[in-house]
Structures are given as C-alpha cells and as structure tokens.
Structure 1
Amino acid sequence: MRRPLARTLTAVAAAALLVPALASCGSDEPAGLVIYSGRNENLVKPLIEKLEKHLGTNVEVRYGDSAELSAQLLEEGDKTEAGLFLSQDAGALGALSKEQRLAPLPKTTLDKVAPAHRGSAGDWTGVSGRVRVLGYHPGKVPTPPSSVHELVKPEWKGKIGFVPTNASFQAFVTGMRVLEGDDAARTWLKGLKANEPKAYENNLKVLDAVDKGEVSLGLLNHYYWYEQVAEKGADKVTAKIHYLPKGDPGGLVNVAGVGILKGADKKQAEYAQKAVDYLLSADSQKYFAEETKEYPLVAGVKTAEGVPPLETLQPPKIDLGKLDSLKQTLAMLQEVGLV
C-alpha cells in the first residue's frame, strides 16, 4: 500500500480555524464512538471499518492534522465530542497529556507496549512505530554516514534531500532539541542550511530523488523504502537505507498512538477503551506491519519481511511525550531559514 502524503504541521497557529469533516463508517445512527484522527483516512479506513464491527456500534471519525487536532481538543476541553484521539505523532499526545486532557489507561492495556513507546504518565500508548533513516545511493555513497551530525560537513553540500515541512522531520528536530539542547540543534540546522539541502514536497519524492541520483542522501522514515520495494521489486529500487547506530538522534523511533479523552460520557469511554485494546490486538498490529510496513509494538507480532526487528536497532533513548514542543521547533526552523 502506498502511504498517503504526509501533511505539513506549519499551520499549528491556525488550529482554531480548523473545521475538519466527520466521516461515518456506518449508517445514519448516532455515533457510539467519535474519533479525532491525525492519521490519513486512506491509511486507517480499513482498520476503522473492522473496529466498527468489533465494537458493534457506529463510529464517526474527524480527520485532520495531528497537531491541529490536539490544539483543537485543548480548546474544546470537556465539551469535546471526541472519545478517542488517534495521533500520527507522539508529540500531539504529549501536549494533551501535559494539560491533563487524557484519561489514565489500565495497566493491562499499558503492559502490552514497552514503556519507551507509551506516555510516561500512563494516559496514552503507541500503536505503531516508525524509524528515521538515511536513504542513500550506493553508487554515490559506498559507506553511508554513521551519524546525522556528519551531514553538516562540506562534502555533503548540495547532496542531501529532505522535507522540512514534514511532521516526521520536525519531530526528529524536536527530538534533537530534547536530547542535545536548543543551542546544539540550532547549530546543526544552521550547518544543514549552509550545505544547501534540496527540499522536496514529500518523503516519496526524496526517495525517488535518491534513487535517480539527483541527491546522494535523503532524510526519511524507513517504511517508504520498504513500500517501494514491495511495489516495484528489490531489483527495481537502486536506493538503499541506513539505520543510524549508537543512539544517534537521526535514528529516532517515533510512534502513532491513542489516548482516551477526559470528558467523554461513560458509554463512549467504554467504547474508546475497547478501541484502544483492538488497535493493540494481533489483527491490528499485523495490519500495520504488513500493509504499511510500520513497526508493530505488541510482543509476538512480527515485522514485515525484510524489516529488521525493533529490538535490533539502536535508537536514542527519549521520552516521546517530550516531543510536544512543536511550536519552538517551527520557530527554530523559521529562524535558520529552512521553512
């Protein structure tokens, strides 16, 4: 399945103007569960349809940008219609957790996912994971860099592709800020800017540019490469990907996750809890692994063929809930002239 284009997060300041549409999976009956989803409809619709059958009630979904929906939920407070928030990004869930807008999840639910992939306050959990990697052209880069910090060296000038408006790139920069501090992150961004990286509309175009040799390296998420290989065949994809070792910030593991909104009525809260558990079921986890090439986060569910198991990677250790400072990241990207 080809992943829909990631939406930019640069409209956070306009979140109050967001008026997303409600999409019903069933009949005109009143919704038993209302979900605000930062994940694209084309991506999760098959799961939502299965969820509706599993719950035995009508499910309505409000689709939009994760950061914008998070901001809207903060504005709505206890008056929100939503019972469940399905986010593309851990930072949007962290923002709600920080303001105590999420209900605690039971230990039996939390224990299905490793602590590194859920909120430290116990009020949200990841449901699928993705890893930042370097895409590279083997004919131009025989040995890929061992750290994202090497990308500011002069030899990479004009040879790097990236998507500065992409949510995952911005989450990676936020992660660098959390791990190494604002000054270090700002210095790295200035070095990247000085190397004149080529900006693309989305990650697929970055991967295509690497594949064609337009750029030598690309910053992207792992699943884009595996989806291209699945679609075209390994012999038709020239580009390779490199997982960064030793806790490098460029190897961030981020998650899509869910949280139950405080203020939901008792019945909707019950449906929301059942929905969380369904998204952590073997059926849903296999969907993420096999259809989108993401990482399943529940033990016992294997990754897609060829995708290295999550436990074999060396990502940076970070509280994903701290990826909530997106506005500061956007301000820094604007300051150095990358957006």
Structure 2
Amino acid sequence: MNHTNDTSRSSTRRRFLRAATAAGIVGMAGCNTPGEGGTATETEAGTETAGDGESPEQIGSGRSPFGDREVGGTSMAEMPDLEGELTLYSGRGEALVGELVGFIEDQYPDLTVRPLYNSAAELVSQLETEGDNSPADVFYSVNAGALGALADRGRTQPLPQEVLEFVPANFRDPDGAWIGTSGRARSVPYNTNTFSNSDIPDGIMAFPETEAFENDIGWAPTYSSFQAFITAMRILEGEEATREWLNGMQELGVSQYGDEFQIARAVADGEIAAGLTNHYYIQRVLARRGTGAPLETAFTQNDAGAVFNVAGACVLDTASDDTLAANFVRHLLSAEAQDYFARTTFEYPLVPEVEPIGRLPTIDELNPPDDLDLSQLSDLETTIELLRDTGVL
C-alpha cells in the first residue's frame, strides 16, 4: 500500500476514534451475545452519496450537536480478530459508510476489505449475473427488501446464532439469512407554525381525506424507502385500496420532490406544511439549523406509514471464508459501529444497549405494523408498476 493510502487510512482512523472517544464507548463484559429482550439513503434508489441528491451538509452532521454520551454494547476489541481478504458489495454509499468500513479495516493489519459501492438493486442484479463466479463475500444493503430478494434466490448462507442474537428477532431474517444493522422509521415531518402533533392523522390511509394537507404536503416517489412504504401498503391494505390512496393524494395536490431530505428542508422553510420521509432526514435538518427550527416529527400507528425498515448485511453463498464474512458482519453490530450510525446518519441503532440520537422516541415507543415481515418488501416490481399506472412515476 502506498504512502498516500496509508496517510488517508490513518486520517480516517483518527477521525473515527475522536468520534468514538467523545461518545464514551464502553464494552460491556459478558455481552458478546446480547439477548433478544430490550428495544429492539442515497437517493435511496442510488447509493447515499451527495452526488445522488444528498446535500453535503447532512453528512456527518450527527456527531456534535448533542454532546458526549456513554454507549453500551460490545466493543470491537471484544470481537474476533479479522484476517484475510474480504469483498464487500455495499448498497450503502461510500459517503456515509466508507469511513466505518475503513476504520474496521484499519484495526487489523492482516485484513484487506475490497468494497464495491453501487445501488442495492443494481448489486442484486450484478450478483444474479455473476452467479457462482461472484467474488463477493458480504452484501450490505440499505433496505431489507434487497436482502430478502437474495435470500429468496438462495444466495445467502445462515449467520451464526451468536451474531444473530445481537439484535431483536424482528430485525433479522427468521431463518438467519440476514441481520439488520441500523433502522429507519417512516415518519411525517410537519411545520410547527402550521400544525401541532394532534393535527397529524395517526392513520396513513386518512391522509388523502385531510383537507388541511391540500396543496401543502410533499412526497418523493422515486425513493426506494417510499416505494417500500407503498409495497407495505399493498401487503397490508390490498392493491385496490393502495391505488385509491395514490390517486387521492394526487387529487389532494401532493408536491413531488427529488429526495426526502429536500422534503424535510421544504417543511422547515414553510414551503410545504408536511411531508412523508424517513425519520433521519428531519434530524439532520435540525442538527444543521438548530432545534429551534419549526420542524417536528409525527408517526402514524400500526400501518404502512409506520414501517420500520432496516439496513443490514448477509453472508453470500460465494463467500470464500464464511467465518471471516460473518465476523465482519458482527463488527457492524459493535458499540463503535452502532454509535457511528446514530451520530453520522441519525438512524436507529439496533443493538438495544445503544440509544438513538436526536428528538426521537425509542424503538419500543414506535408502533410499526405487527403483521409485516420486512422480507416481504422485496417485491418492488409490482409497486413500481402501480406507481406508473397511477401516474405517480
């Protein structure tokens, strides 16, 4: 490795260590296998990079506004060493997770990680084309749908139980094919100069009939999280009811945006009064502008509008060293990695001992639909056809 790369990796390590030290990360003795109790982007169609619609102002904005804190969980120092070469196909963008991947690699002198960054959908397609000849060991996805698609095609191998037990059962595949590493809740950003929390319906199906939203609410239908939300609506409410909802929202005068960060900013600016986004876009705007911005978060209850989706990882059937691959996934569940997700992306950590950052309810206080298996969200093709048929796309 040349001097330039060594310098870059050392800089990455220093940046990451500063964040980890500020967080007061502590490894909890005897917690290598946490139990199942407790709490349980990218244009998301792209690869979570500023060039894909993400403003640079949000990258890394979660690190400083909320002060130091102590973080529980299992530190990387308590995990098995990593040694060998590992090819990572990442549907999470380098701008958001490259620093974490580099930090993990930097901890182990005999580890080489070869990441390939692209959209999750394109990487799934690439894996399908490569078949048994794929060099990939681990697939890291921005959503559970892509992980479920690979599992359905028999392209994964089960993770060890000691890895699966890091997160509650509802955030991993029932058969152990994949595990969530961080989470995002569907939410409703609203402008506090226009609405109070009680003004926001607690059922997503009521939105097209809410006259207060007329010409004053936004969505981003090209986003994969929005499409997963509509997929959940199809599963929970049926295709005809979903069609009627999409038509009703258009009749209401919903405004279309290129990405969900734009929606959160538009709500804070008073351009629109409410929107449909993942929760962390709201927190990023607040981190940038201060908690005095007229922007708050509402959540619907036990329906498609309250879906809690996860970014996650799996070991592929082509992994040359499945033990190394599984232990790399384990490192994504370390105290350092979980705090990184909370501070850098404002996502929900999935390891119960690590709390989220920002003005957010805990995972236990959210009310996602009880009867939805996240693996079911892999059927995006039917959803895209419906969005096109209704004129949304």
Once the two structures are TM-superposed, the CA of residue 200 in structure 1 deviates from its matched residue by 0.7
Q: 1:152 aligns with which of 204, 208, 213?
A: 208
Q: Please name the residue that 2:140 is paired with.
A: 86
Sequence identity (%): 37
CA distance in 1, matches of 2:173, 2:231: 17
Q: Is 1:33 the equivalent of 2:90?
A: no
Query: Per-residue CA shift, 1:138-193, capped at 9, x if unaligned?
Result: 22223222121121116133221010101110111111112222222222112112
Q: Is 1:170 the equivalent of 2:224?
A: no
Partner amino acid for 2:232? G
Q: 1:248 aligns with which of 287, 303, 322?
A: 303
DSSP 3-state at the match of 2:276? strand
Q: Is 1:264 the equivalent of 2:319?
A: yes
Q: Is 1:286 the equivalent of 2:343?
A: no
Q: Please name the residue that 2:74 is paired with.
A: none
Q: Give me the TM-score of the superposition, normalised by structure 2.
A: 0.76
Q: What is the root-mean-square deviation of aligned Cα atoms in Å?
A: 1.6
CA distance in 1, matches of 2:126, 2:42: 23
Once the two structures are TM-superposed, the CA of residue 269 in structure 1 deviates from its matched residue by 2.3
Whether contact under 8 Å (1:120, 1:321) holds in the other structure is: no
DSSP 3-state at the match of 1:314? coil
DSSP 3-state at the match of 2:131? helix
Q: Please name the residue that 2:291 is paired with.
A: 234
Partner amino acid for 2:314? G
DSSP 3-state at the match of 1:234? coil
Whether contact under 8 Å (2:267, 2:274) holds in the other structure is: yes
CA distance in 2, matches of 1:299, 1:146: 26
Q: 2:348 aligns with which of 278, 284, 295?
A: 295
Q: Structure 2: where are the runs of 5+ without partners?
A: 1-40, 48-83
Once the two structures are TM-superposed, the CA of residue 196 in structure 1 deviates from its matched residue by 2.3
Q: Please name the residue that 2:277 is paired with.
A: 220
Partner amino acid for 2:226? F
Q: Please name the residue that 2:259 is paired with.
A: 202
Whether contact under 8 Å (1:172, 1:250) holds in the other structure is: yes
Query: Per-residue CA shift, 1:103-124, capped at 9, x if unaligned?
Result: 1111111111111111122110
CA distance in 2, matches of 1:194, 1:307: 32
Q: Structure 1: where are the runs of 5+ without partners?
A: 10-30
Partner amino acid for 1:281? S
Moved over 4 A (4+): none
CA distance in 2, matches of 1:189, 1:77: 37
Partner amino acid for 1:161? G
CA distance in 2, matches of 1:109, 1:185: 37
Once the two structures are TM-superposed, the CA of residue 127 in structure 1 deviates from its matched residue by 0.1
Q: 2:236 aligns with which of 159, 179, 189?
A: 179
Q: Give me the TM-score of the superposition, normalised by structure 1.
A: 0.88
Query: Per-residue CA shift, 1:60-104, capped at 9, x if unaligned?
Result: 111111112112212222111100000001000000001111011
Q: Please name the residue that 1:161 is paired with.
A: 218
Once the two structures are TM-superposed, the CA of residue 125 in structure 1 deviates from its matched residue by 0.4
How many residues align? The count is 312
Closer, same or farther in 2 for the Cα pair 1:228/1:51, shift >3 Å? same
CA distance in 2, matches of 1:179, 1:86: 27
Whether contact under 8 Å (1:126, 1:256) holds in the other structure is: yes
Closer, same or farther in 2 for the Cα pair 1:141/1:305, shift >3 Å? closer
